[in-house]
């Protein structure tokens, strides 16, 4: 194998540094969370994302003012995009959008049901006019049924999908504390766009994609659904415990910490009993001899574990669990996350100054990610309108 020349090495490094979606144009008529989540990941991967906003801006800009006057949601989901203020009901702005779509690779929209089609930007029409275009319709409940026209937001879908019914304390349903339905939808849309881009590289054709908040969460609800259909019983709300594994839950230490431990098999249970509970004979006792028996005897098992942890400090509990090889973690507050040793962060520029956000999960070749700035409302109006202006006659 011959060594690379300096020129070849430089070219190779340049290719390696280039983000995989550079050169692609994404036009996104978006607001809130699900669609911006999808387009933000495309922007992270190098695509040029033009975010079309109303004159007052994406309403998610005003969810809070925690990050230099911008909302935490908006800063998280809109890094690396360009902002264009446009009214698609205006003939001039509609024509501008069509000129953009002539060159675009992906068009994403999550307007109210039917709004994009009424404005002349329905997926069927766009796919007919622009055969290489990948269209992404993000909705609350999908199409072709009684719920198709309903507005949907994350918590509504948590409730409708059954997620809230299996979340929280036995006293009542609970909300997952982040926008999990929006995120599931946005992640699914991002994966589908990447698949469509691969397919287009083979056959030259775009694709019409539909992704809904409900479908995204319904997919995540497969296990509770299949369990219910197979047993006639839905998983019970058990707070910080597992409905079908015991012991798997949170126990308070003598200094007030909550340690969450997880026993996954009988070998781990035996080691836990010997090293943590200091009761090596316990796995042979009635009600303790198998996971099924322990689940049926949960109150007694958990009470025994709780009595032990109530005598240990957080540090002592961690030492015993480490020695036993038991999986565990501590129930942290959000304030504890700030200094968590595993937390990775990255800076992004915002109109109000630099913000430190959590880094994207995937690490590429060990390099820290470089994320583009968060745009101000209409920050790129002049640039984009000049670029896609109607050519003047000679």
Hey, which residues are catalytic here?
A: 242
Strand partners for 25:
48
364's tokens = 């590429």
Taking alpha carbons only, the member of 24, 80, 100, 26 closest to residue 387 is 100
356's tokens = 């430190």
> How far, in Å, CA of 381 to CA of 394, rounded?
25
Q: What angle do CA 330, 170, 329 make, to 5 degrees?
A: 10
Across the chain, where does the E strand assignment appear? 25-29, 48-53, 81-85, 106-109, 134-139, 208-212, 248-252, 258-262, 327-330, 345-350, 353-358
Dihedral of CA atoms 37, 38, 44, 49 in degrees, nearest 10, equals -100
CB contact burial 222-252 (16+ within 10 A = b; e otherwise): eebeebeeeeeeebebbeebbbebbbbbbbe
> How far, in Å, CA of 247 to CA of 264, rounded?
9
> How far, in Å, CA of 68 to CA of 357, rounded?
13
Q: Which residue has the tokens 């349903």?
A: 173
301's tokens = 């098992």
Rg value, the chain, Cα: 26
């Amino acid at each position: 194998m011959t060594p690379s020349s300096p020129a070849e090495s430089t070219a190779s490094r340049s290719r390696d540094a280039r983000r995989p979606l550079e050169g692609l144009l994404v036009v996104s008529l978006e607001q809130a969370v699900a669609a911006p989540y999808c387009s933000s990941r495309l922007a992270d991967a190098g695509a040029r994302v033009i975010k079309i906003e109303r004159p007052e801006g994406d309403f998610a800009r005003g969810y809070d003012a925690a990050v230099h006057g911008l909302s935490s949601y908006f800063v998280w989901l809109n890094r690396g995009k360009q902002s264009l203020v446009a009214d698609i009901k205006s003939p001039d702005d509609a024509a501008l959008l069509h000129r953009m779509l002539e060159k675009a690779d992906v068009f994403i929209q999550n307007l109210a049901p039917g709004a994009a089609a009424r404005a002349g930007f329905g997926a069927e029409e766009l796919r007919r006019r622009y055969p290489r275009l990948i269209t992404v319709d993000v909705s609350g409940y999908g199409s072709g049924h009684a719920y198709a026209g309903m507005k949907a937001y994350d918590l509504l879908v948590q409730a409708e999908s059954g997620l809230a019914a299996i979340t929280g304390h036995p006293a009542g349903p609970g909300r997952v504390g982040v926008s999990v339905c929006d995120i599931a939808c946005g992640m699914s849309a991002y994966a589908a766009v990447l698949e469509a881009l691969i397919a287009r590289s083979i056959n030259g054709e775009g694709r019409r994609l539909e992704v809904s908040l409900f479908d995204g969460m319904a997919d995540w609800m497969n296990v509770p659904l299949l369990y219910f259909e197979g047993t006639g019983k839905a998983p019970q709300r058990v707070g910080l415990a597992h409905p079908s594994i015991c012991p798997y839950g949170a126990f308070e230490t003598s200094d007030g910490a909550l340690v969450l431990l997880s026993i996954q098999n009988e070998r781990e249970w035996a080691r836990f009993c010997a090293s943590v509970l200091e009761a090596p004979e316990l796995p042979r006792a009635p009600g303790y001899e198998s996971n099924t028996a322990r689940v049926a005897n949960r109150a007694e098992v958990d009470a025994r574990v709780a009595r032990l942890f109530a005598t240990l400090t957080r540090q002592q509990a961690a030492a015993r669990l480490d020695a036993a090889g038991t999986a565990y973690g501590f129930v942290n507050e959000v304030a504890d996350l700030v200094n968590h040793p595993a937390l990775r962060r990255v800076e992004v520029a915002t109109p109000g100054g630099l913000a430190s956000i959590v880094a994207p999960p995937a690490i590429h070749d060990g390099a820290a990610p470089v994320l583009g700035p968060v745009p101000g409302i209409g920050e790129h109006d002049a640039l984009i309108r000049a670029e896609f202006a109607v050519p003047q006659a000679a």
